């Protein structure tokens, strides 16, 4: 063992040997434990410590070497310390982790039934091991696609759920990173106009013992134990560290197709849980530094996440861990952005949520992390945690208010029209005051957490009995409508209405200002049979069934997405002003105008009418205020959008000739197939079916 270096943290192979470095402010001695293939353990004391970083270098340690640490230090839970050298702990900077947790008493620092006791059973045989990786990879000419937010279509997906049953992907790689990067999957994503795939957690995560006892598993993966390590459960390469190479190959293939990779990351908590949880990594290394503890009784953990603990983002080494992880995934793994789970938790330095907390300041000034896509899930379960619209200017946010409003509008709830208009136009009420633009709003109707799109129109109530919690888990207020019958039905009218409602949601989503996000399989008619919380269902219930695809819905989605991509009026980079467009071709018409069904402009009384469920929207293609990359003014066709959430057909009047002499229907959700049809003259009457919308494009000038 040579002295080595205190930076970088983790295990770093340089071609000659490996440097090991780990932070612990409370440690009195740190043992590096090396494991042979048969599990034989060799312990070596790290010889140097600088700034509470223990380190050493060993020549000839090669990639594939498995290792862990034993931390000698205080075991004093009342003061927040839980060191115990009998517990092997994973390196917080593990680039790969090999093996599974074997749930038994040895993983816990106390004796079952007596949380105040100390347990000294050796945990090494029951622990997975950190792995030294080979950092070298042939990236070729890989470069980030660099799509502008305004031009983006995000596709939220689970690595396994997306690919596990796809018939055109070789069976040996289904459910893996290699499957996501397979040409069959890439072709599907491109056909939808997807510019970025947002992968649900791929950081190494833990399958909870409570779920395993029920015969279930942690399917979603929001239970991280390794912020640098791609989980091998999604790898077809069984070699220790093979998951790293496979993940990089997936990113390279997606980039070649022009598709960005965004990771759903969980930095707000870890899998070690509360004071009754296991000792797996940071708890046994420096508990008080890594976790938020209750001030007046440090045996217990602050829990803003509902999972037992919260990471201590007020400590510099915890912050360094997060920032080092983010930079690693950008620079070494070539990902293009992050969606931060329960991001409000990261803002909690003390008690209140503070959007200018240290974490966000660090991101703001980091030359690497600040340049990728940063998406916040802007809420947590703590007091004041709902922070939609409250994040710093460079951040975008999952817009939960968009989801709720659009669901309410299309299920016919009263008094939603004015807020629906705001959500349709980019939610200026939430974002404009902080200098942000429409792209700050990541629009979604459905995400992994909740009903699928098909289930949203098929169930009034959740049906989560398979989760083993007597249907108590999952959201109960889903803003869903089953169209008259709960669950599957043979009634052709109800099935037709459900299909139309799905088209309404997808069209609204893709043509709203902001950034649309589609949940995987919603374009295919995927169902979870009414289960709105499949976090523990790693089976056919949660996987896409590629043998049962709604091809009409898929083609419809492709058509609407192509319309969005072809017309910048749906991808504005600035909010509508409502001011007249005076330049040539603008005709003095506003960049946006709102119409009642009779063709008159909406009045304050119309907006205030609680029963109103119909509206027409004029989007002026001459009123796009920004320039293209060559400095030329962007000019587009103009569009009329008619929305009718009423239970009866409504006749709309088209505007007069100064808007356009004729209008061509390009999308009509009452039809299964979106296609252009015969033009309507100016001021003509257009009949819009019950619970339908129509999109009309201005005809070219003769």
Q: Kindly state the average pLDDT of the residues 647-676.
A: 90
Segment among 173-187, 204-218, 275-289, 552-566 with least mean pLDDT: 204-218
E-strand ranges in 396-490 read: 396-398, 441-443
Tens digits of residue pLDDT in 132-156: 999 999 999 999 999 999 999 999 9
**pLDDT for 585 beyond 80:** no
- Examine the pLDDT at 166 and tell me if it is beyond 60: yes
- Strand ranges for 51-176 from DSSP E: 53-59, 66-72, 75-76, 81-82, 97-98, 129-131, 154-157
Give the 3-state secondary structure of residue 225: strand
Q: CA-CA distance, 193 to 197, in Å (whole number)?
A: 11
Mean pLDDT, rounded, for 361-390: 87
294, 367 Cβ separation under 8 angstroms: no
Averaged pLDDT, 416-428: 95
Structure confidence by residue, pLDDT tens digits, 98-123: 999 999 999 999 999 999 999 999 99
Check residue 194 and report its DSSP letter: -
Examine the domain organization and report whether 118 and 162 are in the same domain. no
Contact call for residues 700 and 511 (beta carbons, < 8 A): no
Q: Is residue 398 part of a domain?
A: yes
**Which of 450, 471, 498 delimits the end of a domain?**
450
In a domain, 522, yes or no: no
CATH number of the domain encompassing residue 47? 2.60.40.10
pLDDT score for 389: 81
> Within 13 A of 330's CA, how many CA atoms are on the CB side?
19
Q: Cα dist. 459→359, 408, 456, 587, 667 in Å?
A: 40, 14, 6, 47, 27
Among the ranges given (182-196, 591-605, 660-674), the one the predictor scored with the smallest mean pLDDT: 660-674
Residue 498 lies in a domain: no
Whether residue 163 sits in one domain with residue 105: no
Q: What is the pLDDT of residue 283?
A: 98
Residues 234 and 290 in one domain: yes
Specify if 456 maps to a domain.
no
Do 169 and 128 belong to one domain?
Answer: no
Q: Are residues 87 and 206 in the same domain?
A: no
Give the whole-angstrom CA distance, residue 376 versus residue 227: 17
Statement to judge: residues 386 and 336 lie in one domain = yes
200 assigned to some structural domain: yes
CB 516 within 8 A of CB 510: yes
pTM (two decimals): 0.97
- Residue 378 CA to residue 345 CA, distance in Å, equals 9
**Cβ proximity of 370 and 363 under 8 Å:** yes
Structure tokens at 289: 């530094």
What pLDDT is recorded for position 346?
82
Residue 575 CA, chain-centre distance (Å), reads 25
Single residue among 71, 100, 132 that ends a domain in this structure: 132
Confidence grade of residue 586 (pLDDT, cut at 50, 70, 90): low
Domain that residue 602 falls in = 578-698
Residues 685 and 612 occupy one common structural domain: yes
Q: What percent of the chain has pLDDT over 70?
A: 97
The overall average pLDDT reported for the chain is 94
Residue where one domain finishes, among candidates 132, 165, 188: 132
Contact 587, 617 (CB under 8 A): no
Nearest to 591 by CA among 560, 562, 626, 565: 626
**Do 446 and 335 lie in a common domain?**
yes
Residue 477: is its pLDDT beyond 60?
yes
- SS3 of 475-534: the string is CCCCCCCCCCCCCCCCCHHHHHHHHHHHHHHHHHHHHCCCEEEEECCHHHCCCCCCCCCH
Nearest CA-CA partner of 276 in 297, 298, 300: 300
The contacts of residue 219 (CB under 8 Å, 6+ apart) are 158, 160, 161, 534, 535, 536, 537, 538, 542
Q: 3-state class of 474 per DSSP?
A: coil
Instruction: Tell me whether residue 639 is in a domain.
Output: yes
Does residue 495 belong to any structural domain of this protein? no
Work out how many domains the chain is built from and give that number: 3
Helix runs in 110-224, H state only:
159-163, 177-180, 183-191, 209-213
- pLDDT above 90 for 534: yes
Q: Is residue 555 part of a domain?
A: no
Q: Is 156 exposed, middle or buried (0-12, 13-18, 19+ CB in 10 A)?
A: buried
d(CA 413, CA 328): 46
Say how far apart CA 61 and CA 598 lie, in whole Å. Answer: 78
Q: Helices 551-566 and 492-511, interaxial angle, to 10°?
A: 20
Q: Kindly state whether residues 368 and 240 are assigned to the same domain.
A: yes
681 band by pLDDT with thresholds 50, 70 and 90: very high
Check 41, 208, 324, 341 and give the catalytic one.
Answer: 341
Angstrom distance (rounded) from CA 115 to CA 93: 29
pLDDT at 507: 98
Section 658-683 average pLDDT: 88
pLDDT confidence tier of residue 427, bands split at 50, 70 and 90? very high
Q: Are 500 and 691 in contact (CB under 8 A)?
A: yes
pLDDT of residue 595: 97
Block residue for tokens 């040539």: 584
Q: CA angle, corner 211, sides to 209 and 213, nearest 5?
A: 70
Give CA–CA dist 462/446, Å, rounded: 15
Sign of CA dihedral 112, 115, 118, 122: positive
The pLDDT value recorded for residue 675 is 65
192 and 326, same domain (yes or no)? yes
**CATH value at residue 686:** 2.60.40.1180
Options 377, 455, 550, 591, the catalytic residue: 377
Look at residue 409 and tell me whether its pLDDT is greater than 60.
yes
pLDDT greater than 60 at residue 356 = no
For residue 348, the model assigns a pLDDT of 73
Assess whether 162 and 82 both reside in one domain. Answer: no
Confidence band of 353 (pLDDT split at 50, 70, 90):
low
Same domain, 255 and 336: yes
418 is catalytic: no
Confidence of residue 313 (pLDDT cuts 50, 70, 90): confident
CATH number reported for the structural domain that contains residue 211 in this entry? 3.20.20.80
pLDDT over 60 (residue 129): yes
Average pLDDT, integer, range 362-368? 94
Q: What integer pLDDT is reported at residue 74 of this predicted model?
A: 98
377 in catalytic set: yes
CA angle centred on 557, ends 555 and 562, rounded to 5°: 95
């Amino acid at each position: 063992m040579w002295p080595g270096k205190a930076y970088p943290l983790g295990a770093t192979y340089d071609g000659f040997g490996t440097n090991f470095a780990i932070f612990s402010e409370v440690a009195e001695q740190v043992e590096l434990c090396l494991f042979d293939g048969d599990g034989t353990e060799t312990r070596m004391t790290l010889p140097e410590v600088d700034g509470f970083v223990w380190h050493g270098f060993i020549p000839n340690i090669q990639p594939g070497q498995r290792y862990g640490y034993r931390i000698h230090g205080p075991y004093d839970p009342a003061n927040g310390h839980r060191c115990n050298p009998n517990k092997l702990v994973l390196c917080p900077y593990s680039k790969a982790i090999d093996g599974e947790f074997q749930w038994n008493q040895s993983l816990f620092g106390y004796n079952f039934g007596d949380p105040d006791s100390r347990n000294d059973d050796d945990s090494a045989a029951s622990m997975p091991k950190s792995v030294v990786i080979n950092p070298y990879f042939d990236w070729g000419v890989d470069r980030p696609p660099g799509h502008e937010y305004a031009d983006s279509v995000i596709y939220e997906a689970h690595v396994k759920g997306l690919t596990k049953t796809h018939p055109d992907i070789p069976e040996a790689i289904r459910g893996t990173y290699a499957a996501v990067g397979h040409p069959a999957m890439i072709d599907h994503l491109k056909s939808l106009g997807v510019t970025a795939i947002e992968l649900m957690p791929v950081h190494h995560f833990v399958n909870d013992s409570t779920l395993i006892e029920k015969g279930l598993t942690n399917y979603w993966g929001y239970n991280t134990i390794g912020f640098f390590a791609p989980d091998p459960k999604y790898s077809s390469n069984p070699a220790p560290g093979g998951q790293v190479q496979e993940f990089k190959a997936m990113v390279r293939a997606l980039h070649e197709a022009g598709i960005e990779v965004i990771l759903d990351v969980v930095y707000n908590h870890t899998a070690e849980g509360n004071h009754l949880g296991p000792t797996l990594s940071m708890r046994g290394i420096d508990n008080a530094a890594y976790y938020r503890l209750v001030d007046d009784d440090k045996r217990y953990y602050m829990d803003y996440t509902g999972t037992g603990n919260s990471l201590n983002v007020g400590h510099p080494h915890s912050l360094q861990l997060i920032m080092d992880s983010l930079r690693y995934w950008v620079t070494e793994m070539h990902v293009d952005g992050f969606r931060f789970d329960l991001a409000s938790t990261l803002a909690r330095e003390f008690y209140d949520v503070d959007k200018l907390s240290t974490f966000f300041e660090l991101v703001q000034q980091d030359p690497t992390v600040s340049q990728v896509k940063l998406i916040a899930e802007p809420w947590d379960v703590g007091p004041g945690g709902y922070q939609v619209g409250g994040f710093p200017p460079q951040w975008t946010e999952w817009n939960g208010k968009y989801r709720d409003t659009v669901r309410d509008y299309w299920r016919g709830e009263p008094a939603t029209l004015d807020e629906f208009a705001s959500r349709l136009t980019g939610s200026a009420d939430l974002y404009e005051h902080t200098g942000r633009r429409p792209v700050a709003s990541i629009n979604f109707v459905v995400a992994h957490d909740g009903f699928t799109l098909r289930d949203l129109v098929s169930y009034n109530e959740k049906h989560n009995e398979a989760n083993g919690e007597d249907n108590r888990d999952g959201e109960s207020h889903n803003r869903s409508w089953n169209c008259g019958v709960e669950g599957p039905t043979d009634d052709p009218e109800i099935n037709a209405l459900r299909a139309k409602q799905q088209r309404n949601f997808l069209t609204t989503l893709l043509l709203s200002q902001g950034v649309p996000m589609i949940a995987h399989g919603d374009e295919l008619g995927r169902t979870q049979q009414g289960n709105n919380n499949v976090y523990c269902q790693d089976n056919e219930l949660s996987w896409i069934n590629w043998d049962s695809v709604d091809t009409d819905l898929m083609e419809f989605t492709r058509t609407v997405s192509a319309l969005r991509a072809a017309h910048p009026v749906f991808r504005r980079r600035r909010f509508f002003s409502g001011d007249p467009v005076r330049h040539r071709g603008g005709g003095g018409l506003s960049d946006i105008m709102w119409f009642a069904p009779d063709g008159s402009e909406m009045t304050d009384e119309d907006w205030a009418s609680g029963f109103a469920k119909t509206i027409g929207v004029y989007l002026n293609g001459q009123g796009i205020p920004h320039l293209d990359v060559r400095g030329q003014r962007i000019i587009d066709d103009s569009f009329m959008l008619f929305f009718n959430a009423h239970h009866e057909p409504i006749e709309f009047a088209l505007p007069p000739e100064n808007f356009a002499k004729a209008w061509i229907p390009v999308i009509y959700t009452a039809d299964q197939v979106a296609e252009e049809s015969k033009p309507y003259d100016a001021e003509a009457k257009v009949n819009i079916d019950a619970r339908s919308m129509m999109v009309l494009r201005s005809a070219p000038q003769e």
